[in-house]
């Protein structure tokens, strides 16, 4: 008994192990708790995590693209000033830059007065000299280009008439440009006095003054362009007149063909000179030719497709006027095939058609675009050429005939 009690006391004092601890705490198999443990699994599943709270605000739906309307509700206004600036560009006035270098307005005015006096003196001296040359050498200048061609003399003679006519206008526009440039410089350097003089409208008056100065400057350039175009056309006429005179003095059988070539050549050269002068004038006035050429090109394509036949007749009329295979009053035979299709006298050459009075008394209307389908036999020109070859032509007569044929 004593030993059993000591063993139980030692067991109480010894620390329990993990296995014994589990056995001690485990319910007995025969007890009610033990039977419950056999029925219930040892590890129960963990409860599911709580759901996140629902948002109080509904999620935003994806934004839809706005539909494009055919016509905007508030269309943007067209900026006319920007469109105008793309076409018109200021070319600048060199006189304004020269006068702005002076610090005082009085010095600029003195410089402008000296320039104006020099221009007036040169213009008066030039006009007196041109009048003297015209009085003593006018006939010789007019006849230059009819004999042996001298390029320098022909060029000087071609420039004589244009400079005689345009010199007063050139000097006048230069002096007017000088005065407008001086007024613009004075308005910039004396801004307070100018604003008081204009009563609060100084900016508007200054803008108008700048426009006027630019316009007068461009007009002076226009006179120079007219001078060069006029002189170029006169020089061209003198050279072609000399060529035609030499052709008439020869006795070759190709005289008529040579004149047929000279007439359209003269017209084409004149057109090119005028076209170059017009383009230079637009550039001098600060007009940008890019948008204009694009618009004209597109419009030309549309008009050309719409009126192709009309343009063909007009182009053929220009060819008839320049080449002159026949003129009004000529007796012509329009040949098509073995025999003549039309025989008669030319009554009128219109822009769209040619009217021929046939030998049977009827009027024949031929479209100018259809003339190239026929072989033209001109009886009147043939008889005139035969009569001209019967006698010798003097140089003066050849020059007069060449001038008449080239007009």
Q: How far apart are CA 227 and CA 163, in angstroms?
A: 7
Alpha helices in 307-371 (DSSP H): 308-323
The backbone torsions φ and ψ at residue 242, rounded to the nearest 5 degrees and listed phi first, read -65, -40
State the Cα torsion 108-114-120-126 to the nearest 10°: -130
Q: Are strands 363-367 and 375-378 parallel, antiparallel or unpaired?
A: unpaired
Predicted confidence at residue 84, as pLDDT, reads 38
| 359 SS3 class | coil
* Tens-digit pLDDT profile for residues 23-53: 445 444 445 544 444 454 555 556 666 666 6
Q: How far apart are CA 198 and CA 208, in angstroms?
A: 12
What are the structure tokens assigned to 365, written together? 């209307």
Mean pLDDT of 255-259: 52
In a domain? residue 351:
no
Q: Is the model's pLDDT at 377 over the cut of 80?
A: yes
* Helices (H) then strands (E): counts for the chain: 14, 5
Record the pTM: 0.56
In a domain? residue 81:
no
Q: How far apart are CA 139 and CA 137, in angstroms?
A: 6
Q: Is the model's pLDDT at 255 over the cut of 50?
A: no
In a domain? residue 31:
no
Q: Residue 159's closest CA among 238, 101, 42?
A: 238
Residues paired with 367 in a beta bridge? 353
Asked if residues 358 and 364 have their Cβ atoms less than 8 Å apart, the reply is: yes
| 46 SS3 class | coil
Predicted confidence at residue 273, as pLDDT, reads 93
In a domain? residue 83:
no
| 358 SS3 class | strand
Mean pLDDT of 151-168: 88
State which residues form the domain around 195.
88-234
In a domain? residue 112:
yes
Q: How far apart are CA 323 and CA 349, in angstroms?
A: 13
Predicted confidence at residue 5, as pLDDT, reads 55
**H or E segment at 245?**
helix 202-249
Q: How far apart are CA 229 and CA 219, in angstroms?
A: 15
In a domain? residue 296:
no
Between 250 and 349, whose confidence is greater?
349
In a domain? residue 240:
no
Q: Is the model's pLDDT at 75 over the cut of 50?
A: no
Asked if residues 216 and 180 have their Cβ atoms less than 8 Å apart, the reply is: yes
In a domain? residue 122:
yes
Q: Is the model's pLDDT at 307 over the cut of 90?
A: no
Give the Cα-Cα-Cα angle 339, 343, 346 (nearest 5 degrees).
Answer: 145
Number of domains, the chain:
1
- Rounded to the nearest angstrom, the gap between the alpha carbon of residue 153 and the centroid of all alpha carbons in its chain is 37
* Tens-digit pLDDT profile for residues 339-366: 778 889 999 888 788 899 998 888 999 9
Q: Residue 323's closest CA among 371, 366, 358?
A: 371
Residue 80: which pLDDT band, with cuts at 50, 70 and 90? very low
* Tens-digit pLDDT profile for residues 218-238: 899 999 999 999 999 999 988
Q: Is the model's pLDDT at 121 over the cut of 90?
A: yes
Q: Would you put residue 100 in left (φ > 0), alpha (ψ -120 to 50) or beta?
A: alpha
Between 278 and 311, whose confidence is greater?
278
* Tens-digit pLDDT profile for residues 283-294: 888 877 777 677
């Amino acid at each position: 008994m004593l030993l059993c009690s000591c063993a139980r006391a030692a067991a109480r004092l010894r620390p329990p192990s993990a296995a014994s601890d589990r056995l001690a705490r485990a319910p007995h198999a025969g007890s009610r708790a033990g039977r419950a443990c056999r029925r219930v699994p040892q590890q129960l599943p963990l409860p599911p995590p709580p759901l996140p709270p629902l948002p109080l605000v509904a999620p935003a739906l994806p934004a839809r693209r706005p539909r494009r309307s055919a016509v905007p509700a508030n269309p943007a206004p067209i900026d006319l000033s920007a469109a105008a600036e793309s076409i018109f560009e200021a070319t600048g006035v060199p006189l304004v830059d020269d006068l702005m270098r002076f610090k005082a307005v009085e010095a600029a005015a003195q410089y402008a007065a000296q320039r104006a006096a020099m221009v007036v003196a040169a213009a008066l001296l030039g006009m007196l000299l041109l009048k003297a040359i015209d009085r003593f050498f006018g006939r010789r200048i007019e006849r230059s280009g009819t004999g042996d061609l001298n390029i320098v003399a022909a060029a000087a003679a071609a420039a004589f008439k244009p400079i005689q006519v345009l010199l007063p206008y050139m000097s006048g526009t230069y002096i007017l440009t000088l005065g407008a440039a001086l007024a613009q410089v004075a308005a910039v350097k004396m801004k307070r006095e100018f604003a008081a003089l204009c009563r609060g409208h100084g900016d508007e008056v200054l803008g108008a003054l700048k426009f006027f100065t630019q316009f007068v400057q461009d007009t002076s350039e226009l006179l120079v362009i007219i001078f060069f175009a006029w002189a170029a056309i006169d020089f061209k006429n003198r050279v072609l007149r000399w060529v035609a005179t030499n052709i008439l003095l020869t006795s070759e059988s190709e005289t008529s063909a040579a004149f047929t070539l000279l007439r359209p050549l003269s017209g084409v050269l004149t057109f090119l000179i005028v076209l170059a002068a017009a383009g230079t004038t637009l550039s001098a006035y600060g007009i940008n030719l890019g948008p204009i050429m694009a618009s004209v090109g597109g419009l030309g394509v549309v008009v050309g497709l719409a009126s192709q036949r009309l343009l063909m007749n007009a182009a053929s009329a220009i060819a008839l006027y320049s080449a002159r295979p026949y003129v009004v009053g000529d007796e012509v035979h329009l040949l098509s095939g073995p025999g003549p299709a039309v025989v008669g006298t030319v009554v009128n050459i219109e822009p769209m058609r040619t009217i021929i009075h046939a030998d049977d008394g009827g009027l024949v209307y031929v479209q100018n675009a259809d003339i190239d389908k026929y072989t033209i036999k001109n009886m009147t020109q043939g008889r005139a050429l035969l009569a001209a070859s019967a006698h010798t032509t003097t140089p003066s007569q050849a020059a007069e005939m060449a001038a008449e044929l080239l007009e």
